[in-house]
Every structure is written in C-alpha cells, then in structure tokens.
C-alpha cells in the first residue's frame, strides 16, 4: 500500500485540523497518522490506494472551516502502518 507524507502549513494548529483529518481518514479507510509539528505545521502520513491518497491531498488543501491552509507539500514515504487505522499523534 503506497504512503505519502504531507506537510501542511498556514493556520493549521488550534483549529481542529487533526480531528478533522482523522474523521476524513476514518471515513475513507486510510491508514497513517497526523500530528502537530514544532514549526506550526501539521504532518500527515496517508496510506491507501492512489486515488484515495489524492482525495486526502485535495481535502488537506482546504482543511476544516477554521483553518487557513497556505501550502501542502507531498513527499513519498516508506511509513509502515502498524495499526489498522488512522491515529492522532501527540
């Protein structure tokens, strides 16, 4: 299963971004995680079929209503999901 790492910048912390990402990932049966980074960005790793990964990338560009997404960078990832679901990492 392919995985991509996303780095989301803008107003993305303190606006419910991680909870929103988890709800969407759970609906789409995506594996991976989302977490806040020290630099104010959010990191998300999504593991799924390519078309579902693209849905997550496009959704990440919009984010929840309270967010203001400036940019979403996408990188290949060799992450191996150890759980069955999508987790919020602290």
Q: What is the pLDDT of residues 30-85, one digit of tens each?
A: 999 999 999 999 999 999 999 999 999 999 999 999 999 999 999 999 998 777 79
Going by CATH, does the domain composed of 3-80 fall within 3.30.70.100? yes
d(CA 26, CA 42): 18
Which residues have CB under 8 Å from 61's CB, separation 6+? 69, 72
pLDDT of residue 9: 98
pTM beyond 0.85 = yes
Which residues have CB under 8 Å from 65's CB, separation 6+? none
Among all residues, which ones are annotated catalytic? 18, 36
Residue 17 confidence class, pLDDT cut points 50, 70, 90 = very high
What does the block give as tokens for 39? 């630099």
């Amino acid at each position: 299963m392919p995985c991509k790492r996303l780095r989301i910048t803008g107003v993305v912390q303190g606006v419910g971004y991680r909870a929103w990402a988890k709800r969407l990932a759970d609906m789409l049966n995506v594996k991976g995680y989302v977490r806040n980074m020290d630099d104010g960005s959010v990191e998300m790793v999504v593991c799924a079929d390519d078309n579902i990964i693209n849905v997550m990338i496009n959704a990440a560009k919009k984010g929840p209503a309270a967010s203001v997404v400036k940019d979403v960078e996408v990188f290949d990832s060799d992450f191996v999901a150890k759980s069955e679901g999508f987790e919020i990492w602290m």
